[in-house]
Structure 1
Amino acid sequence: MGTTVPISFDNTENAFAYKTDKELKKTKILFSSMECQLLVRWGTKVTPWVLKAGLPVKGLIRHTIFKQFVGGETLEETAQVAQKLGNYNVRVILDYGVEGGENDEAAFNHSMEEFIRVIRYAATQPNIPFISIKVTGFARKGLLEKLDASVSDQQGSLMKRYAKAVESLSDEERAEWQSVQRRMEKICRTAAEKGIGVLVDAEETWIQDPVDVITILMMERFNISKVVVYNTIQLYRHDRLNFLKDSLEAAEQRHFMLGAKLVRGAYMEKERERAAAMAYPSPIQPGKADTDRDYNDSIAFCIDHINKIGVIVATHNEYSNRYATELLQQKGLSLHHPHVHFSQLYGMSDHITFNLAKAGCPVSKYLPFGPIRDVVPYLMRRAQENSSVAGQAGRELGLIKKELQRRNL
């Protein structure tokens, strides 16, 4: 067993080295405003409306919350942010928040082409190893929901239940689903050819099963000698640790390498509300401690099977990040192991990201980009997340103040 050298996340000089004094002061003002939950609640309700109404607020948004959490409106703008992060050994996961229309095949095909365009661009950059995609960007939600419900009604393993569910579709729906698979296959094939990893976002529970299935099918096709495709596993669901273990079993049976991006989750309130309204058991863990336990157990499971799994530890939780590094060291494995990657959202938890990078860990910022009107929903989630009681604003603000004090500002 190796020795363990703890990684500290308290070094604010490392955390904010990439920010000028002016930028750090602006960040302090932004996070100070996020501490006011009333202001955030009002802002998240009003902002989408004023943008839709055409009121002149884009400039204000661009120079505040947009600049903090988004790479830019275009790939060219985002390149400047990626290059700046790269100077500090921090990589980038590109995310273009493109969404197709509910019943528009042309829009779905356009979304596919946009994802492919981002992959090709990433392949020209030195520090963009991954892109993120959403299946709902090129598949109708109604179709996914019908498939998911049918899968749930079947017996047996996920793949067997899926096969029976597809049989229950109409001829038109089967053709539509085949088009979804073709789009996904084209995206993943391009990524494999260009050497870029594809992180498939998680969705709500009522459309997740077909997303899991199509992702497993792509892993079976492209994760042969290396991990190209990663599934996102939300550990705030009480069934996901078992799903992770079942996924490895499927990978072993089908002879492919498993890709797993571990997150805590993004749809908790929506999931609980729907379960209560429709009178079915909530898929969400009873409490935060249960989520934390399963998240850390998932890290341990992946590292225990590191030769068969590529894992992305995507979390703002200090303990979970430190735990992953300690497990690697205890097993005598390099912190720069090719099957382990760390990630945090751009604009948050710099004390984790940059201190991991300083310690030699491969780490990326999840970097969304796109027109302001398209990323507003993402921005509103970041504002709500940071203002919540269990959110980040207080911790972020304390670290920023500490660094300003260190700089005598």
Structure 2
Amino acid sequence: MTAVEGSRRATYNIFRRIFSLQTRHVLVFSSSTPPIVWKPSARDNKEIEECYQRLDLNFENGKEAFKSKTNYELFRAVIVLHLCSYEMLVKNNVAILNVLRKLLGQKLFNSALKATFYGQFVAGENKDEIEPTILKMQKFGVKSILDYSVEKDVSQEEVQKKAFERMDDGGQIKSVSLKQVIGEKTMLQTHRKYDVYKEFADRRQNVVSARTYFYEGEEECDRHCEIFCQSIDAVASATGGLGFSAIKVTALGRPALLLKASESIAQTQNFFQAITGSTRENLVLSKISEKDFLQKIQNYGIKTDSKMVQEWFKMVDFDEDGFVDFYDWAELFDEDKKLGQMFQVYNIKTQKIEPLFVKLSEEEEQEFANMVDRVARVVDYAVSKGVRIMIDAEQTYFQPAISRLTMALMRKHNKERGWVFNTYQAYLKSCLHDVQLDMHIARRENFHFGCKLVRGAYMDQERQRAAAIGYEDPINPNLQATAEMYNRVLTRIIQERDLRGPGQVSVMVASHNEDSTRFAVQLMKDKCIAPSEKVICFAQLLGMCDQISFSLGQAGYSVYKYVPYGPIEGVLPYLSRRAQENGGMLLKAKKERRLLWRELMRRIFVGQLLYKVPDHAS
């Protein structure tokens, strides 16, 4: 094998890690498989009842929730959250900070921020500074998810330039061929969703609660990889193996390649649905025999080698039932006989036989391979350090590739316990379907399914993009529909735990919503799930919703704070988003301010002007 062939084989193997749904150790559960009845022990029952009784489900007990805070911290929180309620300050926070920097000078400016907004929402500048905050929270039952929150100030012009750099048609799926199978309308609508558009290149627009990375070259992606590994070191050192680290895939490669990979996945699913006559709702149950498959593709005018198809069926029909299902179908991306070789169609315009699917160019394949390698390197490093890792969700047009990669990493690392967690956004119409599909894969291949469930961070941006480009709005119609989706997904995950048993499924309820939190707590009680079983845990942002986090932690539930850290100037974009997010959550922030102020006044009236934080929660 030549050096070039070796390099291509290495790249090919990396692609396998993404697109393969290999089924080497298959557990078969039929749709009628009854849930297993898991009876909690007497010890579990006692824990469930004690934790439930200790928790104030109204989240009104400020004395208990804020016992870990000094009077100064209470006062700072009241002031900062109150300032966030002024729309004028929130909208113009960047300009105001720039003026303050000029008036005060850098040193005084830094001190003022540390005493206010930075001190409220950020744990410190480095590993040494954040450790006291982490240890203090641990004493009161709250663990940490660390995130190095430094962001670069990149101009919109530079963002747009980089987005279209070296873009070509080499990786696009050929419309003339594909439309014969799935129909021109479906094919074009799918392509529009996953194409690059100048007006939407700056993904910071209309996004409040999520950080955005932009592609600035392979070296910058390598630097992000090192930063993520350093953050993992900080988690391992500061939390004693109790914490999480979080990463974004768009920080580790060129986002445009995720678009192309995601379109390949989406169009392949379209192809499978057209061949089998299935829909998204019954995709998991759909399958096709060799005979029917050959007949279908002949009906569509696709010329292929029947012997090759027979060999392919034997190769991917792992349970040897004479059918290929959706999971087997994904193997088409990975075998040596690629899609382009196996399925060809006569192009009327060119009068030539051409491949149905076209993959990335060689240069793009190498860049994509680099991206996958960086993600795998970070996850491998986290597991080696005993740190669990969450892959953050991003925009829907990136998500198919991100989710496929995350599932491949789950398959690799989650055999014994949940090291890798995928993120699902409940504001999406497809959320329940996506979770069920991935849980089915995890069950079928017998690995732990780890999930972080959020409402979502890109609602306005997603809706504007869908309306402008002309594809279906992926977002639920209203807040009530999103709340219902959140509860349905959470319920379905717990049903999966009932089906597979303890230790096979875990979900992080990452929400500032009290109703969702109450629903999860009640679900744990109704399903006899002890907090120590670690099926359900909770998470909120540092400096926000402490009445939820610390009430849960001190009652015995597993709860985390998302803990940002980094130099002051580098985290200003993060602080700007926190101000906007609090401004957009007026009712929730109003309750938190009321509880903070009430507890501060209570301490003053009972003579606790020099309140001393207890050594532990009890």
The reply to whether TM is greater than 0.5 is yes
What letter corresponds to residue 363 of structure 1 in structure 2?
V
Structure 1 partner of 2:147? 95
How many residues in Structure 1 have an aligned counterpart in Structure 2?
409
Aligned residue in 2 for 1:267: 458
| Segment of structure 1 superposing worse, 323-332 or 155-164 | 155-164
Unaligned runs of 5+ in 1: none
Distance in 2, matches of 1:101 and 1:242, equals 30
User: Counterparts of 1:243-322 in structure 2 under 5 Å?
Assistant: 243-306=434-497, 307=502, 308-322=504-518
Equivalences for 1:370-409 in 2 at 5 Å?
370-388=566-584, 392-408=588-604
CA distance in 2, matches of 1:162, 1:130: 35
- The CA distance in 1 between the partners of 2:265 and 2:103, in whole Å, is 42
Task: Please tell me whether residue 174 in structure 1 is matched to residue 224 in structure 2.
Answer: no
- Of 300, 325, 336, the match for 2:521: 325
Q: Is the 8 A contact 2:80 2:117 kept in 1?
A: yes
Q: How far apart are residue 48 of structure 1 and its match?
A: 7.1
Q: Amino acid of the residue matched to residue 74 of structure 2?
A: L
- 1:23–1:97 Cα change, 3 Å: closer
Q: Distance in 2 between matches of 1:167 and 1:82?
A: 49
Q: 1:19 aligns with which of 64, 69, 81?
A: 69
> Hey, what does 1:110 align to over in structure 2?
223
Q: SS of 2:215's equivalent?
A: coil
Query: Using the alignment, how far apart are the partners of 1:94 and 1:389 within structure 2?
Result: 24
* Alpha-carbon distance in 2 for matches of 1:231, 1:10: 32
Distance 1:225-1:13 versus aligned 2 partners, 3 A rule: same
* 2:431/2:489 contact within 8 Å kept: no
SS of the equivalent of 1:285 reads coil
Q: Deviations for 1:273-317, whole angstroms, at most 9, x for unmatched residues? A: 212222222111100001101111122122222333111111111
Range moving further from structure 2, 311-320 or 275-284: 275-284
The whole-number CA distance in structure 2 between the counterparts of 1:283 and 1:50 is 41
CA contact (8 A) 2:215 2:251 kept: no
2 CA distance for matches of 1:153 and 1:374?
40
Q: How far off is 1:343 after superposition?
A: 0.7
Partner of 1:144: 258
Which residue number in structure 1 is paired with residue 29 of structure 2?
Answer: none
TM-score by length of 2: 0.62
**1:312–1:343 Cα contact (<8 Å) kept:** yes
Q: CA deviation at 1:46?
A: 4.9
Indicate if the aligned counterparts of 1:96 and 1:132 stay in contact, CA closer than 8 A: no
> 1:156-171 residue pairs with structure 2 within 5 A?
156=272, 160=330, 163=333, 168-171=359-362
Distance 2:250 2:537 in 1: 25
Amino acid at match of 1:18: S
Q: Which moved more, 1:399-408 or 1:217-226?
A: 399-408
Q: How far apart, in 1, do the equivalents of 2:402 and 2:91 lie?
A: 32
What is the TM-score of this pair, normalised by structure 1?
0.92
Report deviation, 1:332: 1.9
Q: 1:55 to 1:147 in 2, by over 3 A?
A: farther
Question: Kindly, what percent of the aligned residue pairs are identical?
Answer: 33
Residue 191 of structure 1: how far off its partner (Å): 1.8
1:351 aligns with 2:401: no
Q: Is the 8 A contact 1:101 1:108 kept in 2?
A: no
What's the offset of the Cα at 1:44?
A: 4.4
Higher alpha-carbon Rg: 2
C-alpha distance in 2 between matches for 1:160 and 1:336: 37
1:133 partnered with 2:244: no
Quote the residue 1:72 is aligned against. Answer: 124
Q: Give the root-mean-square deviation of aligned CA atoms.
A: 2.6
| Cα displacement (A) at 1:241 | 1.3
After TM superposition, give the deviation of residue 109 of structure 1 in Å: 1.5
Task: Tell me, in whole angstroms, the C-alpha distance in 2 between the residues paired with 1:48 and 1:284.
Answer: 36
Q: CA deviation at 1:207?
A: 1.3
Q: CA shift at 1:112, angstroms?
A: 1.2
